[in-house]
Chain A
Amino acid sequence: MIALEASGIAKSFVLHLQRGVRLGVLRDAGLTLRAGECVALTGPSGAGKSTLLRALYGNYRADAGSIRVRHRGAMVELAGAPAAHVIEIRRETIGHVSQFLRAMPRVPARDIVAAPLLERGMDEAAARARAEAMLDALGIPKALHTLPPVTFSGGEQQRVNLARGFAGDWPILLLDEPTASLDAANRDRVIALMRAARSRGAALLGIFHDPLVRDAIADAELRLEPLKEQA
C-alpha cells in the first residue's frame, strides 16, 4: 500500500538579502514510499536531503511537483494545500522528527511529548501516560519528566524531541538524523523505536549518516546528487 508518492519536486531558494541569488537545490525529485517500508535518503552534503524531507512535510514550499499522501484512507495532495488541511495532515498522518528540540519556556518535557496527542483529541490522562512511557523508552529519568527541557543537556533535549516524534504513531515518519550525536545505548533505543514503527505499518523516510543505523533499519536507498548548474 502506497503511503506517500512524490514526483517532479523542485525547490530553489531566492536570497533577496544576497542580491537575489537563486540557489537551486532540488529538481525533479520524487519517490514512492509504501507502508511498512524504510527508505534512506543518501547523498553528499548539499544534495538537498533535508530540503526534500522538509518539502514533503510542507515546511518548505515546493516550487513544482506533487506530494500525495494517504490521509484518512485516500490519497490527497499536500503540495499547495490550504493551511488548515496541511495542519490536519500533520496532526494525523505525517510526523517529522529532527534532532533539534524547540523547547518552550515553562513547558515540562512530558507536556511537550503529549502535545501532539492532545491536539489529536486524546484525553489528558492517556496522553500523559503515553508521554511518560515514551520518555522512559528513551531513557529520560523520571525526575526530568516534569521539568522544562530548556536546562537539559543537548542529548536529553534530542531524546525528548524523539519521544515526541514517536509518541504519535504517525503512519508516515520523516526522520532527519534521529540518532546524530547519541551514544550507543540511546542509538539502539531509537533503532528499536523505528523498528516498532515499521512493524505497526508505518512508512519511514530518513537521513541516517551512521551506516550502522542505516543497515539496521533501511531496506532501500534514494540517492540525491547536488544540482550542477545554477540558473
Chain B
Amino acid sequence: MTLMAAERVTRRFGAVAALEDVSLAIGRREIVAIVGESGSGKSTLLNVMSGRLAPDAGRVMYDSGAGLAPIAAGGEAALLDLQRRRWGFVAQEPRLALRMNVSAGGNIGERLMVAGARNYGAIRAAAARWLETVEIDPARIDELPRGFSGGMLQRLQIAATLVTEPELVFMDEPTGGLDVSVQARILDLVRGLVRRLGVAVLLVTHDIGVARLLADRIVVMRQGRIVETGLADQVLDDPQHEYTQLLVASVLPA
C-alpha cells in the first residue's frame, strides 16, 4: 500500500534539470534507497519528496490515513504538521540538525514537546530510554553534545528523530562522514530500529553497500532521471542499465 508518491516531478536549478519527470512510490514500512553519484539528483528528489523544495512540475502525494493527497494542498501549516508529526529527518551532518547548546536529553525531549508531550517526568524518562536504545550512556543525559564523538552525535540525531515514532524517515547519507567501524554500528542500529518500529525510510546514499544492508528496494538515479529500480538484491546482483553495471563494478569487494 502506497504511503507516499512523487508523480512526474521536475525541478530545475537555472538551466540544469536536477529532476526530470521522476515518479517514485514508497509503501508503508518499506525501505527505499536512492543511489547515484554526486549531481544525479538524488538529494533533490529527497528534498522535493520531504516538502523542503517545491517542484517546478509534478506533485508529491502522501497518505495521512484518508488516502493519497498532495502534500502542498493544505498550505504551509499542514506541511509543517506532516514534517513534525509524521516524518523524521536524519541529516548527514548531525551538528546542523541537533542543538549543540542544549543537553542530549533536551535534544530528544524537544521533539516530543513539539509533538505535544507536556509531562516533564515522562519526557525525561523517554529521553533516557532512547539514549540507551542508541547505545549512549543515559548518565550523560544532561551533557551538551559538544563533547560527543561523530558517531555518538549521529546516534543522538537518530534517537531525536525516532522518539516521536514517525511513519516515514528521510535519511541523507546518514553514515557519510563516519569511520567504517562506526558506520557498521549505526547501520546495524538503524536496521533493527526501523524494523521494530515499522517505519518507512527513504534513504539517499552513494554507498551501495549501505543500500544493500538497509534497503528493500533500490532506485538508481543519473542526470536527474531514474534509470533503474528493483529489489535491492536484483539491482545489485543483476544490474540491467549500463550505469548501474558501472556503479556495481566500481566497488571494491569487501
User: Is there a chain A Cβ closer than 8 Å to B242's Cβ?
Assistant: yes
Identify A106's interface contact among B184, B237, B238, CB under 8 A.
B184
> What is the 8 Å Cβ interface bit string for chain A, positions 113-149, against chain B (1 contact, 0 not)?
0000011000000000000000000000000000000
Query: Is the CB–CB distance between A59 and B233 below 8 Å?
Result: yes
Query: Please, which residues of chain B bring their CB within 8 A of the CB of A61?
Result: 230, 234, 238, 240
> Chain B interface: which size bin?
20 to 34
> What is the 8 Å Cβ interface bit string for chain B, positions 82-94, against chain A (1 contact, 0 not)?
0000000000000
Query: Please, which residues of chain A bring their CB within 8 A of the CB of B42?
Result: none
Query: Is the CB–CB distance between B195 and A118 below 8 Å?
Result: yes
With A and B bound together, what is the CA distance between A60 and B231 in angstroms? 10
User: Is there a chain B Cβ closer than 8 Å to A86's Cβ?
Assistant: yes
User: Is there a chain B Cβ closer than 8 Å to A105's Cβ?
Assistant: yes
Identify B216's interface contact among A16, A83, A106, A118, CB under 8 A.
A83
Query: Is the CB–CB distance between A59 and B234 below 8 Å?
Result: yes
B170 to chain A, nearest CB (A): 20
Query: Please, which residues of chain B bring their CB within 8 A of the CB of A107?
Result: 188
B125 to chain A, nearest CB (A): 23
> What is the 8 Å Cβ interface bit string for chain A, positions 43-77, against chain B (1 contact, 0 not)?
00000000000100011110000000000000000
Query: Please, which residues of chain A bring their CB within 8 A of the CB of B27?
Result: 84
User: Is there a chain A Cβ closer than 8 Å to B140's Cβ?
Assistant: no
Query: Please, which residues of chain B bring their CB within 8 A of the CB of A86?
Result: 231
Query: Please, which residues of chain B bring their CB within 8 A of the CB of A58?
Result: 231, 234
Query: Is the CB–CB distance between B238 and A60 below 8 Å?
Result: yes
User: Is there a chain B Cβ closer than 8 Å to A17's Cβ?
Assistant: yes
User: Is there a chain B Cβ closer than 8 Å to A192's Cβ?
Assistant: no
Query: Is the CB–CB distance between A104 and B188 below 8 Å?
Result: yes
User: Is there a chain A Cβ closer than 8 Å to B114's Cβ?
Assistant: no
Interface hits, B233-253 → A, CB 8 Å: 233-234, 237-238, 240-242, 245-246, 249
With A and B bound together, what is the CA distance between A17 and B245 in angstroms? 7
Query: Is the CB–CB distance between B242 and A87 below 8 Å?
Result: no
Counting chain B CB atoms within 10 Å of each CB, which of A15, A59, A86, A105 scores highest? A105
> What is the 8 Å Cβ interface bit string for chain A, positions 3-16, against chain B (1 contact, 0 not)?
00000000001111
With A and B bound together, what is the CA distance between A147 and B27 in angstroms? 34
Identify A104's interface contact among B213, B216, B246, CB under 8 A.
B213
Nearest to B250 among chain A residues (CB) is: A17
With A and B bound together, what is the CA distance between A86 and B217 in angstroms? 11
Query: Please, which residues of chain A bring their CB within 8 A of the CB of B233?
Result: 59
Query: Please, which residues of chain A bring their CB within 8 A of the CB of B185?
Result: 105-106
Query: Please, which residues of chain A bring their CB within 8 A of the CB of B188?
Result: 104-107
Query: Please, which residues of chain A bring their CB within 8 A of the CB of B217?
Result: 83
With A and B bound together, what is the CA distance between A62 and B56 in angstroms? 37
With A and B bound together, what is the CA distance between A189 and B63 in angstroms? 50
Query: Please, which residues of chain A bring their CB within 8 A of the CB of B237?
Result: 54, 59-60
Query: Please, which residues of chain A bring their CB within 8 A of the CB of B195?
Result: 118-119
Interface hits, A96-113 → B, CB 8 Å: 104-107
Query: Please, which residues of chain A bring their CB within 8 A of the CB of B172?
Result: none
Nearest to B245 among chain A residues (CB) is: A16
B17 to chain A, nearest CB (A): 24
Interface hits, A1-41 → B, CB 8 Å: 13-17
Nearest to A103 among chain B residues (CB) is: B254
With A and B bound together, what is the CA distance between A50 and B249 in angstroms? 20
User: Is there a chain A Cβ closer than 8 Å to B167's Cβ?
Assistant: no
19 examples of A-B residue contacts, CB within 8 angstroms: A16-B241, A16-B242, A16-B245, A16-B246, A17-B246, A54-B237, A54-B238, A58-B234, A59-B231, A59-B234, A83-B216, A83-B217, A84-B30, A105-B184, A105-B188, A106-B184, A106-B185, A107-B188, A118-B195
